[in-house]
Amino acid sequence: MEMRSFSDYLRSVDDAALLNLFTARPDLVTPVPPDIASLAVRACSAPSLARAIDSLNQWQFQVLEASASLNEPFLEKSVVTLTDKEAKGALEHLVTIGLVYPSEDGLRLPTQLRDVIGIEPAGLGPASMVKLKLSELDDAPADAKKVLDRLVWGPPRGSVGDIKNPGPGVTWLLDKKFLVPLDQRTVILPREVAIALRGGKIHKERFIKQPTLSGAKRDERQINLAAIANVSTVLRWVEELLNFWADEPADALRAGGLGVRDLKIISTHLGVDESCTAFVAELAYLASLISIDADDRILPSNKFDIWLMQTPADRWQMLASQWLITSRVSGLVGRVEAKNVAALGPELDRVNAARVRGLTLQLLGENQGTAPEWNSFKEVLSWRAPVRRNSSLQEELAEWTLREAEWLGITGQGAMSKFGKQFLGGDDLSSINEDLPKTVDHILIQSDNTAIAPGPLEHEISQALAMMAEIESRGGATVYRFTESTIRRALDHGKTGDEIKTFLVKTSKTPMPQPLEYLIADVAKKHGKLRVGNTSSFIRCEDTALISQIMNDKKLEILGLRRIAPEVVICDLDATDAMRVLRECGYLPAGESANGMILTGPKSNRALTKPRPPRVIGEVEIPDKDSLTNAIRTLRTGEKSTYRQTRLRQVASEALGQLPRTTANETMEILNQFIIDEKTLSIGYADNNGGVTHRIIDPIRISAGALIAKDHATGEVQSFRIPRITGVAPL
Amino acid sequence: MTDGPLIVQSDKTLLLDIDHPMSTECRRAIAPFAELERAPEHIHTYRLTSLGLWNARAAGHDAEQVIDTLIKYSRYAVPHSILIDVAETMSRYGRLRLEMDPVHGLILITTDTAVLEEVIRAKKIAPLLGARIDAETITVLPSQRGQIKQSLLRLGWPAEDFAGYVDGQAHEISLVQKDWKIRPYQELAAEGFFHGGSGVVVLPCGAGKTIVGAAAMAHVKATTLILVTNTIAARQWREELLKRTTLNEDEIGEYSGAKKEIRPVTIATYQVMTKKKNGVYAHLDLFDSYDWGLIIYDEVHLLPAPIFRFTADIQSRRRLGLTATLVREDGMEGEVFSLIGPKRFDVPWKEIEAQGYIAPAECIEVRVNLTETERLAYATAEPENRYRNCATTRTKRDVVEALVEKHADDQVLVIGQYIDQLDELSEVLGAPLIKGETPIKEREILFNQFRTGEIKCLVVSKVANFSIDLPDATIAIQVSGAFGSRQEEAQRLGRILRPKSDGRGAKFYSVISRDTIDQDFAQNRQRFLAEQGYSYKIIDADDVFQGKI
């Protein structure tokens, strides 16, 4: 059977080879293809090929490029010639992952592969159509050499002014077919010429070996010490953040996520910068320790309580394992070029985040005891994952991963820690529990009203202290400060002064300084001296016997009476209702005013609110003096006829004050009448602001809801909207 | 996990467990770069600041040493960010240098042109600079040496000053240690200052700051200008210098309201320096009248504003600031450091006490209950008069009386703020009163009588807050003060801290009206001392009357 196609090849291989292929390219079996033919189709599809190419390191990719520059079928030997003898290993790998496959007559590439890596692999043009005398290249004139130098390392295309009239160098090259015209302005360098000029190889440099990662060597003990400090810090951050949100929930932005203001608040609270804050918030979010409720408030979830009960190792693992696989990138928050990307928001996902993160950690794992130097790390990274697709953020992602790994304690002082190793290797993490500083169960109180916990405190103690003191300094130890307001806070939370004292005496290794004792006693003494409550009315009586009587009166139960002093009772109902009820039960109450005066005499009920009389619609406002003078001046100048002027002067002032209100129908009627009669009218006209002005007009016609008339004041023809005419009167 | 005495916190504070066997060793190791913030009984708090780290660089320590020290003594792992921060901060020092060039005069020179480019573009720096010489060098106006150092410090690029100090006119001064010996910490302080060039020495009251001054003069061996708070203090300095050094009476001048002598060693008062004549400071010329090799500022925390300004102009002279309490309620501590120089020496009060150089002191807050009438008067007083109202209540008088009676055998100082209250107390107690209007002569007589024991009890106003040396006073009773001033409280305690001949302890009573702002202010006043490890005992006035204490 002839074996040419990729599917033929796949049919011929054994199960082990298929297994290798599927391990390297898991997308081929999700979902499992029904038969080999469809497997081959999938494996040759552009997206799958691109993904496979992404997994290549720089050397493997160079070998692939070399293979792509050969005509199929090709031999391993030719690839080696074009690259290096090390290419054999790389080729084997390419075969394993199905980017090159053997057929009867030699090696072949899956169809479409050439499309995916580009039609000009390694900057090489197409193969020449004719046989070339490459030896003549040495005799090329200087001009031609210059052209060749420009094109040899790609891109192989060059533009010439006009193909019919090129320079002398290009002419020579075209003659010898060392250049091939593509169109009117473009020429291309054939592959063979370029390879010859490149000295028989494809690449200027062959990156066969991974560059060595340089960086500071760290002592293993120091690494683990630093890492365990980081582990305890990150656990503390998460706990503190969530405790903070439990007290003061942040509001999620409408677009989702945490606003810049809230981020700043927690950043100050935790005492770390904003990028670290965003990271901590994201960690909690990934581990489902927070949820955003229906009111868009960000609150700790009930998983947080479960989390708190776990051992440090379990707590840490819960955070780290989610971080490892997430596609969310907290490093994006707060970058200058993307200001509105919010932590916990919807815009943090990046496709290659988990891949780059994995690769970064893998590199750290391969270089135990080394805190990589960034430039060297970048080099190694780009050899391992030469940037081809989705490349935009690869370096930043790696940088952020290094930073976050340190925050998490996967690394310590920049080098992979034993916890990181155990975590990535899926091993038991109980060493975290053992290595974390032992919790302490005591504090040291000092006479300057501070208390110091010389190590991580037991959970209950730290919770209790957090209530009665303010944290002044955090880290391995915690410094608390007692002030009047912190003691008050504890009292507000239902502790008594004695309880606070007993707790501190019990917890403190040092005797309780007297000033603190006094501080607590002083605050406790003052606390709650003033009582505040709500009530609707009070009942007062100098006769305490009467007060006792109404307190015991079953019929008055409806009033909800409470005696707050021998002579004072407060009541749930308001004063009027209370008086009514009291009267009904046969008592004789009287009202009391705010300054203690008795309110007697016939009571006439009056509303308590300010009166708001209804607006008068259609009223013509009485013009003030100015508008009157204006009107008069207008009349004087506007009228031509002396007779009419005289007459108008007489009537105007009368008419102004007594413009009758007319209904809409009347208005229309009068207007129509006057248009026919061509007589002068006086109208009230409401302006845009609702103010009514008085106009004297000669109506002309009615058109589209407006009255067209000559206004005497301006002497111009204007339109008046009918609904705004408040009244019409003949002059 | 090591079990060191030091806990390095993520906010750059260092907590030192002083009950730990290695604590003394550790304190010595961190003192060069960390600043002591608080020193209460059990855990001392130090802080890593940029200034402290740069001073350490200036004194020849490098980042690696600092980091090693932190790691060596730390109980828990040192946060990585702190290590990075230390290295970064320290590497900023010395990129810029101030040098004296034979051709161009004072120049600013750099090893990193980018830094120079950055600073010469800063608004505050540009006016202080002269012509650019080349890419790495630029001239600085000689009069702006202090200013440019201060501004560069604020920009975060401190300049290393190689321009040196003027030697001043040489004058032979040595210590004469016949019947006394300089104490180790005084020697350390003087040396610390001399090697640093300029700076502030912080020592508790009564720990012998004058001798540090004298020792510094003996190191510099040049004409010296000493600025002190008042005439009495000036005379005390004079006495001490005569007693402790080779200087004779003709070599020491007093420049005060009373006398205007200018001698190789001149002691001037702040008051006369800041006196204005026709709107100008008439006496600031004193700074130029001699080629001073050293200027000493006594009680530098009181440095008045005009002297502040002038000090900025004399950066080429050595300056020594002496104080017990560098806390200013106006927050000007930073200015003092940048003008006089960084803190060169600081030691917890309790440590000096432990060594026996200052008397152990007991601080007692006596709380008096106001009578009903007084409470009412207090409750209705205008807010601006409230403190005065509760600080001067009649009830306090009886308590003071009882206390003085109880300590009839001791030398007692009654200290207060309000003159009418003191007048009244002086009358009731039958004790003389020293206040602002008391003439210097009379003051000296009274102080002398007090020292010799002729007078057992003295009532003083705030004129006696500082610099008054009363070796045998063992009891101080404070009845009122300048609101919440922390340094006043400490200075007043300082009056009784001179070690007593019989090794007795001192007692400092502060009489406070209960449940008033007097009590709130007292709490603030006590903060400095509490942070130095003085634990206040609170007692009730009735305990005093019943003789329970």
- H-only helix segments in A607-663: 625-638, 642-657
Please write the tens of the pLDDT for every residue from B228-274. Answer: 888 888 888 898 888 888 888 888 888 887 788 888 889 988 888 88
CA distance A250 to chain B (A): 25
Q: What is the ipTM of this complex?
A: 0.78
pLDDT of residue A602: 60
Distance CA A575, CA A578 (A): 5
Length of chain B: 549
pLDDT at position A135 over 80:
no
- Mean pLDDT, residues A502-513 taken together: 90
Count of the separate structural domains present in chain B: 4
pLDDT at position A511 over 50:
yes
pLDDT at position B42 over 90:
no
- Mean pLDDT, residues A175-180 taken together: 78
Nearest residue in chain B measured CA to CA from A435: B1
Instruction: Assess whether B497 and B473 both reside in one domain.
Output: yes
B178 domain residue, yes or no:
no
CA distance A584 to chain B (A): 45
Can you name the residues that pair with A690 across neighbouring β-strands?
none
- Mean pLDDT, residues B43-57 taken together: 86
For residue B131, give every residue at least 6 positions away whose Cβ sits within 8 Å of its Cβ, in sequence order, or none: B138, B139
Q: Please state, in angstroms and as integers, the Cα–Cα distance from residue B536 to each residue in B90, B272, B487, B544, following that order.
A: 40, 38, 16, 16
B177 domain residue, yes or no:
no
The answer to whether B8 contacts A271, with C-beta atoms less than 8 Å apart, is no
Domain boundary among the residues B110, B129, B161 is at B161
Domain boundary among the residues B92, B113, B128 is at B92
B527 — alpha (psi -120 to 50), left (phi > 0) or beta?
alpha
**pTM of this structure:** 0.68
Supply the angle between the helices B145-155 and B113-120 in degrees, to the nearest 10.
110
CB A297 within 8 A of CB A245: no
**Chain B environment of A448 (Cβ under 8 Å):** 38, 40, 527, 530-531
Strand segments, DSSP code E, in B242-326 are: 252-255, 265-269, 276-277, 280-281, 294-297, 318-323
pLDDT of residue A656: 54
B173 domain residue, yes or no:
no
The answer to whether B41 contacts A510, with C-beta atoms less than 8 Å apart, is yes
CA distance B496 to chain A (A): 21
Instruction: Assess whether B250 and B112 both reside in one domain.
Output: no
Instruction: Assess whether B346 and B387 both reside in one domain.
Output: no
CB A219 within 8 A of CB A396: no
Q: Please state, in angstroms and as integers, the Cα–Cα distance from residue A388 to each residue in A51, A67, A379, A383, A701, following that order.
A: 10, 18, 15, 12, 79
* CATH classification at residue B382: 3.40.50.300
B478 domain residue, yes or no:
yes
What one-character DSSP code corresponds to residue A260?
Answer: H
Please write the tens of the pLDDT for every residue from B201-221. Answer: 888 887 888 899 999 999 888
The answer to whether B76 contacts A437, with C-beta atoms less than 8 Å apart, is yes
Distance CA B500, CA B506 (A): 9
B300 domain residue, yes or no:
yes
Instruction: Assess whether B308 and B268 both reside in one domain.
Output: yes
Distance CA A675, CA B260 (A): 108
Range in A231-240, A504-513, B336-345 the model is least confident about: B336-345
Q: Which of B416, B465, B32 is nearest to B229 (CA)?
A: B465
Instruction: Assess whether B343 and B403 both reside in one domain.
Output: no
pLDDT of residue B99: 84
pLDDT of residue A648: 56
Please report where in the chains the tokens 């209702």 appear, as a residue.
Answer: A577
pLDDT confidence bin for A632, thresholds 50/70/90: low
Please write the tens of the pLDDT for every residue from A596-612. Answer: 777 765 656 677 677 77
CA distance B491 to chain A (A): 18
Side-chain-side CA neighbours of residue B328 (13 Å): 15
- Decide: helix, strand or coil at residue A564: strand
Please write the tens of the pLDDT for every residue from B354-388. Answer: 888 888 888 999 988 888 888 888 888 888 888 88
pLDDT at position A129 over 90:
no
Please write the tens of the pLDDT for every residue from A685-696. Answer: 887 777 777 788
CB B317 within 8 A of CB B293: yes
CB A376 within 8 A of CB A211: yes
Q: Which of B545, B471, B543, B537 is nearest to B509 (CA)?
A: B537
- Mean pLDDT, residues A431-456 taken together: 87
pLDDT at position A639 over 50:
no
CB A212 within 8 A of CB A363: no
Q: Count of CB atoms within 10 A of residue B420's CB?
A: 10
B171 domain residue, yes or no:
no
pLDDT at position B80 over 90:
no
Instruction: Assess whether B227 and B270 both reside in one domain.
Output: yes
Instruction: Assess whether B250 and B188 both reside in one domain.
Output: yes
Please write the tens of the pLDDT for every residue from B453-502. Answer: 888 888 988 877 766 777 778 889 998 888 878 888 888 888 888 887 77
Instruction: Assess whether B317 and B428 both reside in one domain.
Output: no
Instruction: Assess whether B493 and B410 both reside in one domain.
Output: yes
pLDDT confidence bin for A655, thresholds 50/70/90: low
The answer to whether A229 contacts B77, with C-beta atoms less than 8 Å apart, is yes
Choose among A437, A447, A474: nearest Cβ to B536: A447
pLDDT of residue A1: 42
Burial (CB count within 10 angstroms: exposed 0-12, middle 13-18, buried 19+), residue A490: buried
Q: Which domain holds residue B108?
A: 96-161
B175 domain residue, yes or no:
no
Sheet holding B224-228, edge to edge: B252-255, B265-269, B224-228, B294-297, B318-323, B199-202, B343-346
Q: Within its chain, how far is the Cα of B436 from the centroid? A: 23
pLDDT at position A200 over 80:
no
Widest pairwise Cα distance in chain B: 81
What one-character DSSP code corresponds to residue B472?
Answer: T
The token pair at A559 is 């009033």
Which amino acid makes up residue B346? D
Choose among A447, A455, A475: nearest Cβ to B10: A475
Say how many CB pairs under 8 Å bridge A and B.
104
B238 domain residue, yes or no:
yes
pLDDT of residue A641: 43
Instruction: Assess whether B36 and B87 both reside in one domain.
Output: yes
Choose among A437, A476, A510: nearest Cβ to B42: A510
Distance CA B444, CA B438 (A): 10
CA distance A411 to chain B (A): 11
- H-only helix segments in A326-458: 353-366, 374-384, 394-408, 418-424, 430-435
What one-character DSSP code corresponds to residue A702?
Answer: E
C-alpha torsion A395→A397→A398→A401, nearest 10: 160
Q: What share of chain B is helix, strand, coil (3-state, %, to 5)?
A: 40, 25, 35
More confident residue, B335 or B415: B415
The sign one gets for the Cα dihedral B270, B271, B273, B279 is positive
- Mean pLDDT, residues A502-523 taken together: 89
**Which helix (H) or strand (E) element contains residue B45?**
strand B43-48
Strand segments, DSSP code E, in A568-680 are: 568-571, 591-592, 598-599
Nearest residue in chain B measured CA to CA from A519: B523
Q: Which of B352, B336, B473 is nearest to B415 (CA)?
A: B473
The token pair at B270 is 């702040």
pLDDT of residue A317: 92
A704 — alpha (psi -120 to 50), left (phi > 0) or beta?
left
Q: What share of chain A is helix, strand, coil (3-state, %, to 5)?
A: 50, 15, 35
Please write the tens of the pLDDT for every residue from A31-58. Answer: 777 777 778 888 888 888 888 888 888 8
Distance CA A677, CA A674 (A): 5
Q: Within its chain, how far is the Cα of B173 from the centroid? A: 25
pLDDT confidence bin for A642, thresholds 50/70/90: very low
Which residues of A lie closer than 8 Å to B, measured between beta carbons?
Answer: 222, 225-226, 228-230, 233, 271, 406, 412-414, 435, 437, 444, 446-450, 452, 454-455, 473-477, 479, 510, 513-515, 518, 522
Instruction: Assess whether B428 and B507 both reside in one domain.
Output: yes
Instruction: Assess whether B82 and B122 both reside in one domain.
Output: no
Domain boundary among the residues B329, B353, B377 is at B353
Please write the tens of the pLDDT for every residue from A265-284. Answer: 888 888 788 889 999 999 99
Choose among A233, A473, A515: nearest Cβ to B538: A515
The answer to whether A413 contacts B79, with C-beta atoms less than 8 Å apart, is no
Average pLDDT, chain B: 84
Q: Is the previous residue joined to A73 through a cis bond, with omega within 30 degrees of 0?
A: yes
CA distance B203 to chain A (A): 20
